[in-house]
Amino acid sequence: MSLFPTSAPLVGDPEIRRELPGVWLASLGGDPRAEAQHAGWTIVTSDGRSRALSLLAAGEQAQPSAAQARSCGVIFDGVLYNRAELGRELERTLDEAESDASLALRSYLRWGEDALRKMKGHFALLLWDSESDLSLCARDPVGIYPLFYAETTRELLLSTSIEALLRHPRVSRAFNRPAIADQLRFRFADLHETVYESVKRVPPGHVLRVAHGQKQVYRYWDPASPNGRVNWLREDELDQFDQLLDQAVTRCLQFGPAGIFLSGGLDSVTVAAVSAEKCRDQGLPDPLALSLVFPHPEANEESVQRSVAEGLGLQQVVIPFEEAVAPAGLVSAALEMSSRFSMPLMNTWLPAYHHLGEAGRQRGCRTILTGTGGDEWLTVTPFLAADLLRRADVVGFYQLWRSMHQSVRRSPAAVFRLLLWKCGLKPLLIQALRQAAPEPLLRARRSRSARRVPAWLAPDAAVRRELICRGEQAAPESESDKAGFYIQEMRSALDHPLVSWELEESFENARSMGVRMLHPFWDSDLVDLLYRIPPLLLNKGGRSKGLVRESLARRFPDLGFERQKKVEATAFFWSVILTKGAQTWHELGGPRALAKLGLVDPQILTAEIDEIVAKNCGPEAYRIIHVLTYEAWLRPRL
């Protein structure tokens, strides 16, 4: 077998041009040499068969590594954290100069597909085994790296960039209209689909396996056991949390000078404290604290931010929110960013954090750490209430209510109503009806699906029919349903399309700045541990995020972290969107691009938007900015 790099044209082939940055190409049929201009590597097997593989990094990003041995080739983009551990298990001294691709390939040759479960890091990986006619296209366990794929009649193309795939001449740019219409009503039904018909995603922790032309996508990493049950940790095992958090942060500090997005919340303060300690232990430069200051009094954490940076001895960059989104403001900045991104913008705050990240990059930061993931993995979901009510656990229900009302800025009555009905009795009632009368419930679901398509959505008859059909598809009962509502909600942090989408968005934003954006609380080893910590231990001390409150209270005794309640910018966000969003809506002339695709009725939707503004309906502000970001994304693409 031979492996030829793109830098040296193959004999008799046209000149190989790197015109499709970011694309991996795996030819599933025909002669890949005819497509050599799109191939990064061509594997020619001993029996004369050949397959083309390619992953070329986008823009000025470092090139991915590649390796070949016997009948196999690997392309690896990202980083392996457990190189030394893999080297020991392979019973061979690890050469520090050995590439991650080579180590991944040796792991596959030793353990086969099980090698994926042993790899720890963030990466996208493509492996081809010509002897077995097998290709594996894997995304790292938690999805820090994106991975998308598209099929043509003869090829399977993969990339960390949707736009790179769409530049291929045989990949359709047709929009996935039913999916977009679903998303406009905040329904994200399919983890695999994107806003393009031809482009699919490989979900986090999954591998796309192609063997003898047959495709299968399966999860190769899971913090739960194979039977779906959770191996709960004991209280005397909780000291593992500090060890794994230290490890997660240390892993993030290996890529050059670091910055920390430092709010005044528990998650980012924890990351900042551990980062400062680890940098000094390793003789690295102190991390740079990067802080946004919000003007709204309910969201302003400036005093805490400055006190934490001072207490840790960190240099700090503090930027007022208005400056970060200048000159046009948050709404215009979000729409401009949405127009440039591969998919519509989900995180409306991202333009402000992009500005903050640029400030860090200009001061030498090559990595920026965030507290993202803390809300998912340190907090007990309120849907635990349904499990407690089903068991008639009155004491447990009271403890959950008490910990919540002491941790969030809501009235005790509001927390009680949330737990008792929305997160307690209502899901129990729905589950009981599904079990007792599945057919009547299915008919009711179908009827409700037809009624719930808003009048402004999908005036195109074909799109509306597809929307109703998608709404009628009832999800089958899963192992997590049987295990309980708490586990079901925990699974959503791993399997919900928006979780993957937001990590992909973070990756694309970081790549545009030329830095790495890393999230220690999304480290797979740490997630594996946190997933298995019982709710009572997560709420250690009677408040949410009890695992970090105690240590922060010791570090900063004057800042009150032991009793801090979560700061939310919800009211500030609503006020901005209800004023600037509505104004921008009319300046743009309404949703012309969405209307052109038959996705919205502009007259009905505009009237609804005007009503939301007239009634000052804050919770509905999300609809305004959501539709605007999709409109801004579509306009340059039509």
Domain boundaries, the chain: 2-219, 235-377+499-565, 437-474, 571-637
Q: Is the pLDDT of residue 71 over 90?
A: no
Which CATH number is 2-219 given? Answer: 3.60.20.10
**215-237 mean pLDDT:** 90
> What pLDDT score was predicted for residue 441?
66
**341-359 mean pLDDT:** 98
Q: Helix-strand-coil percent breakdown of the chain, rounded to 5?
A: 50, 15, 35
Kindly tell me the number of DSSP H helices and DSSP E strands found in the chain.
29, 18
Query: What is the tens place of the pLDDT at every residue in 25-46?
Result: 544 443 333 332 333 344 333 3
Residue 286: count of CB within 10 angstroms of its CB: 15
> What pLDDT score was predicted for residue 481?
55
**329-338 mean pLDDT:** 98
Return the sign of the alpha-carbon dihedral for residues 522, 524, 527, 529. Answer: negative
Alpha helices in 391-484 (DSSP H): 394-405, 412-417, 426-436, 438-451, 461-472, 479-483
Which pLDDT band holds residue 527 (cuts at 50, 70, 90)?
very high
Query: What is the tens place of the pLDDT at every residue in 272-322?
Result: 999 999 999 999 999 999 999 999 999 999 999 999 999 999 999 999 999
> What pLDDT score was predicted for residue 451?
67
Which pLDDT band holds residue 227 (cuts at 50, 70, 90)?
confident
Indicate the SS3 state at residue 605: helix
Rg (CA), the chain: 25
CB 61 within 8 A of CB 366: no
CATH topology of domain 235-377+499-565: Rossmann fold (3.40.50)
Q: Is the pTM of this model over 0.85?
A: yes
> What pLDDT score was predicted for residue 138?
97
- For every residue of 187-238, DSSP letters joined together read ----SSB-SBTTEEEPPTTEEEEEETTEEEEEE---SS-TTS---PPPGGGT
560 alpha-carbon distance from chain centroid? 31
**61-75 mean pLDDT:** 83
> What pLDDT score was predicted for residue 479?
44
- Which residues on adjacent β-strands are paired with residue 291? 318
Query: What is the tens place of the pLDDT at every residue in 353-385?
Result: 999 999 999 999 999 999 999 999 999 999 999
> What pLDDT score was predicted for residue 211?
93
Which pLDDT band holds residue 58 (cuts at 50, 70, 90)?
very low
